Amino acid sequence: MSDSTDVAALDALPAYAAIPPMGGPVGALIRGLDRLFATLAVLGLLAIAAVVILQIVARVALPSSPVWTEELSRYLFIHMIAVSSGLVLRQHRHVGVELFQHTLGFRAQMALRGVTSLVLAVFSAVVLPYAWTYAQIGAFQTSPTLGIPMIYIFSATAILFGLSAVYGALGVIEAGVAFVRGSKEHT
């Protein structure tokens, strides 16, 4: 591809793709957290695949299949979603309705992103204590086949809202920095 094609492709990207990542020790910490949560999500997905394959092989090749595989795959899926929620927000991979954003200028897009990130962060912070209260209900319950205390399973809601609050706040900061800078930078 030529340089003009590269520039045209970059210009076609949504404005949030042009937001430069934070630098310095804070940026390194955020990138480290991103890698940690991405690694946990990938490990969760691999574990789900292994458990489901075990279930399939057991149904075909063994006289009886383990009863715990369905429960474990469900719990792994729930926690995979929870730990990857912040990354989805940070990388703007979540489902969104884009009706008019492309018609706005760069600063207006950053202001809109900042406002939506702020609403998300505030909502998540308000719901977080209730999610933790919900998780504590499971302290005296265990899962049917694995015998795991349900607080570990129910804690996924607190993890999800906690990460959504943190990554929503990061979105506000990043949108604010991009708004102040005022133009796309293709570096």
Task: Give yes or no for a contact between 48 and 80, defined as CB atoms under 8 angstroms apart.
Answer: yes
Q: Which residues pair with 142 in a beta bridge?
A: 149
| Confidence (pLDDT) at 2 | 54
Helix axes 68-90, 150-181, angle to 10 degrees: 10
Query: Can you list the pairs that 14-17 forms with residues at least 24 positions away whose Cβ atoms lie under 8 Å?
Result: 14/92, 14/98, 14/101, 14/102, 14/109, 15/101, 15/106, 15/109, 15/110, 15/113, 15/178, 15/184, 16/92, 16/109, 16/110, 16/113, 16/175, 17/92
Supply 51's token pair: 């458990």
| Confidence (pLDDT) at 187 | 37
Pairwise pLDDT comparison (21 vs 74), residue with the higher score: 74
Rounded Cα distance between 114 and 55, Å, is: 45
Confidence band for 155, pLDDT divided at 50, 70 and 90: very high
What are the φ/ψ torsions at residue 149 (nearest 5 degrees)? -60, 130
Residue from 19, 186, 15, 179 nearest 104 by CA: 15
Pairwise pLDDT comparison (91 vs 21), residue with the higher score: 91
pLDDT digits (tens, 9 = 90+) for 85-141: 988 888 877 777 777 777 888 899 889 889 999 999 999 999 999 999 999 998 889
Q: Which residues touch 73 (CB under 8 Å, ≥6 apart)?
A: 48, 51, 52, 55
Confidence band for 183, pLDDT divided at 50, 70 and 90: low
Pairwise pLDDT comparison (77 vs 21), residue with the higher score: 77
pLDDT digits (tens, 9 = 90+) for 24-63: 888 899 899 999 999 999 999 999 999 999 999 999 998 8
